[in-house]
Structure 1
Amino acid sequence: MDLEARKYQFIQELVKVEDESILEKLELILKANQNDWFDDLSESEKNEIQIGLDQAEKGEVIGHEDVMKRFSKWH
Protein backbone atom coordinates (compact mmCIF):
# COMPACT_ATOMS: atom_id res chain seq x y z
CA MET A 1 0.00 0.00 0.00
CA ASP A 2 1.48 3.35 -1.00
CA LEU A 3 1.62 6.44 1.18
CA GLU A 4 -1.41 8.12 -0.34
CA ALA A 5 -3.55 5.02 0.16
CA ARG A 6 -2.39 4.74 3.78
CA LYS A 7 -3.28 8.40 4.40
CA TYR A 8 -6.71 7.91 2.90
CA GLN A 9 -7.29 4.80 5.00
CA PHE A 10 -6.15 6.68 8.11
CA ILE A 11 -8.57 9.53 7.37
CA GLN A 12 -11.41 7.05 7.01
CA GLU A 13 -10.57 5.54 10.39
CA LEU A 14 -10.14 8.98 11.97
CA VAL A 15 -13.66 10.00 10.96
CA LYS A 16 -15.00 7.05 12.97
CA VAL A 17 -13.19 8.02 16.20
CA GLU A 18 -15.63 9.12 18.90
CA ASP A 19 -13.31 9.16 21.90
CA GLU A 20 -12.02 12.70 22.38
CA SER A 21 -8.97 11.52 24.35
CA ILE A 22 -7.79 9.56 21.30
CA LEU A 23 -8.13 12.68 19.15
CA GLU A 24 -6.16 14.69 21.71
CA LYS A 25 -3.36 12.11 21.65
CA LEU A 26 -3.27 12.14 17.86
CA GLU A 27 -3.12 15.94 17.88
CA LEU A 28 -0.16 15.84 20.26
CA ILE A 29 1.64 13.38 18.00
CA LEU A 30 1.04 15.52 14.94
CA LYS A 31 2.16 18.70 16.71
CA ALA A 32 5.28 17.03 18.07
CA ASN A 33 6.16 15.88 14.58
CA GLN A 34 5.91 19.44 13.23
CA ASN A 35 8.23 21.08 15.76
CA ASP A 36 11.72 21.93 14.68
CA TRP A 37 14.35 21.38 17.39
CA PHE A 38 15.75 24.82 16.62
CA ASP A 39 12.48 26.42 17.72
CA ASP A 40 12.92 24.95 21.20
CA LEU A 41 16.29 26.65 21.76
CA SER A 42 16.70 29.78 23.82
CA GLU A 43 17.62 33.05 22.10
CA SER A 44 21.17 32.86 23.49
CA GLU A 45 21.60 29.34 22.08
CA LYS A 46 20.31 30.49 18.69
CA ASN A 47 22.73 33.44 18.80
CA GLU A 48 25.68 31.17 19.61
CA ILE A 49 24.80 28.90 16.69
CA GLN A 50 24.57 31.92 14.38
CA ILE A 51 27.99 33.13 15.56
CA GLY A 52 29.43 29.71 14.73
CA LEU A 53 27.81 29.71 11.29
CA ASP A 54 29.13 33.20 10.58
CA GLN A 55 32.64 32.15 11.63
CA ALA A 56 32.46 29.08 9.40
CA GLU A 57 31.40 31.23 6.43
CA LYS A 58 34.42 33.46 7.00
CA GLY A 59 36.72 30.43 7.19
CA GLU A 60 37.41 31.02 10.87
CA VAL A 61 37.50 27.32 11.69
CA ILE A 62 39.93 24.86 13.21
CA GLY A 63 40.21 21.39 11.72
CA HIS A 64 39.36 18.26 13.68
CA GLU A 65 42.98 17.07 13.73
CA ASP A 66 44.19 20.35 15.20
CA VAL A 67 41.52 20.25 17.88
CA MET A 68 42.41 16.65 18.78
CA LYS A 69 46.12 17.57 19.06
CA ARG A 70 45.32 20.58 21.21
CA PHE A 71 43.22 18.57 23.65
CA SER A 72 45.09 15.27 23.51
CA LYS A 73 46.45 15.73 27.02
CA TRP A 74 42.88 15.32 28.33
CA HIS A 75 41.98 12.49 26.01
Structure 2
Amino acid sequence: MDLEARKYQFIQQLGKVEEERVLEKLESVLKASQSDWFDALSEAEQAEIQIGLDQVNNGEFTSHEEVMKRFSKWH
Protein backbone atom coordinates (compact mmCIF):
# COMPACT_ATOMS: atom_id res chain seq x y z
CA MET A 1 0.00 0.00 0.00
CA ASP A 2 1.48 3.35 -1.00
CA LEU A 3 1.62 6.45 1.17
CA GLU A 4 -1.46 8.11 -0.35
CA ALA A 5 -3.56 4.99 0.18
CA ARG A 6 -2.38 4.75 3.79
CA LYS A 7 -3.29 8.40 4.39
CA TYR A 8 -6.74 7.87 2.92
CA GLN A 9 -7.27 4.78 5.05
CA PHE A 10 -6.13 6.69 8.13
CA ILE A 11 -8.55 9.54 7.40
CA GLN A 12 -11.39 7.05 7.10
CA GLN A 13 -10.48 5.49 10.44
CA LEU A 14 -10.12 8.91 12.03
CA GLY A 15 -13.71 9.70 11.08
CA LYS A 16 -14.85 6.75 13.20
CA VAL A 17 -12.99 7.80 16.37
CA GLU A 18 -15.48 8.65 19.11
CA GLU A 19 -13.25 9.12 22.16
CA GLU A 20 -11.89 12.57 22.96
CA ARG A 21 -8.72 11.19 24.56
CA VAL A 22 -7.86 9.22 21.43
CA LEU A 23 -8.12 12.39 19.34
CA GLU A 24 -5.98 14.26 21.86
CA LYS A 25 -3.28 11.60 21.64
CA LEU A 26 -3.33 11.66 17.85
CA GLU A 27 -3.13 15.46 17.87
CA SER A 28 -0.13 15.38 20.20
CA VAL A 29 1.67 12.88 17.98
CA LEU A 30 1.04 15.00 14.88
CA LYS A 31 2.07 18.18 16.67
CA ALA A 32 5.31 16.58 17.92
CA SER A 33 6.20 15.27 14.48
CA GLN A 34 5.66 18.65 12.85
CA SER A 35 7.46 20.87 15.32
CA ASP A 36 11.15 21.60 15.42
CA TRP A 37 12.86 21.34 18.82
CA PHE A 38 14.75 24.53 18.03
CA ASP A 39 11.49 26.51 17.87
CA ALA A 40 10.67 25.44 21.42
CA LEU A 41 13.82 27.14 22.76
CA SER A 42 13.85 30.66 24.14
CA GLU A 43 15.33 33.46 22.03
CA ALA A 44 18.37 33.54 24.33
CA GLU A 45 18.97 29.80 23.86
CA GLN A 46 18.58 30.11 20.10
CA ALA A 47 21.05 33.01 20.07
CA GLU A 48 23.64 30.99 22.04
CA ILE A 49 23.32 28.09 19.62
CA GLN A 50 23.73 30.46 16.68
CA ILE A 51 26.90 31.87 18.26
CA GLY A 52 28.27 28.33 18.52
CA LEU A 53 27.38 27.54 14.91
CA ASP A 54 29.03 30.76 13.76
CA GLN A 55 32.17 29.86 15.69
CA VAL A 56 32.31 26.44 14.04
CA ASN A 57 31.81 27.99 10.60
CA ASN A 58 34.70 30.37 11.33
CA GLY A 59 36.98 27.52 12.45
CA GLU A 60 36.90 28.69 16.06
CA PHE A 61 36.67 25.32 17.77
CA THR A 62 38.75 22.53 19.24
CA SER A 63 38.38 19.08 17.73
CA HIS A 64 37.39 16.08 19.80
CA GLU A 65 40.80 14.54 19.14
CA GLU A 66 42.62 17.62 20.48
CA VAL A 67 40.47 17.68 23.61
CA MET A 68 41.17 14.00 24.20
CA LYS A 69 44.92 14.63 23.86
CA ARG A 70 44.83 17.51 26.34
CA PHE A 71 42.87 15.58 28.95
CA SER A 72 44.18 12.05 28.37
CA LYS A 73 45.99 12.03 31.71
CA TRP A 74 42.59 12.21 33.46
CA HIS A 75 40.86 9.73 31.21
Query: What's the counterpart of residue 47 of structure 2?
Result: 47
Structure 1: any 5+ residue segments left out of the alignment? Answer: none
TM-score by length of 1: 0.82
Q: Which moved more, 1:7-16 or 1:59-68?
A: 59-68
Structure 2 residue runs without a partner (length 5+): none
2:73 corresponds in structure 1 to 73
Three-state SS of the structure 2 residue aligned to 1:50 is helix
Task: For residue 51 of structure 1, report the CA deviation from its aligned partner.
Answer: 1.0
Q: Distance in 1 between matches of 2:47 and 2:73?
A: 31
Q: Which residue number in structure 2 is paired with residue 24 of structure 1? A: 24
How many pairs align?
75
Show CA shifts across 1:25-62 (max 9, x none).
21111111112111222333222211111111212122
Superposition misfits of 4+ residues, deviation over 4 angstroms: none
Cα RMSD between the aligned structures?
A: 1.5
- Partner Cα distance (1:54, 1:66) in 2: 20
**Kindly, what percent of the aligned residue pairs are identical?**
73
For 2:15, what is the secondary structure of its paired residue?
helix
Q: Which amino acid aligns with 1:7?
A: K
**What residue number does 2:12 align with?**
12
- TM-score (ref. length: structure 2): 0.82
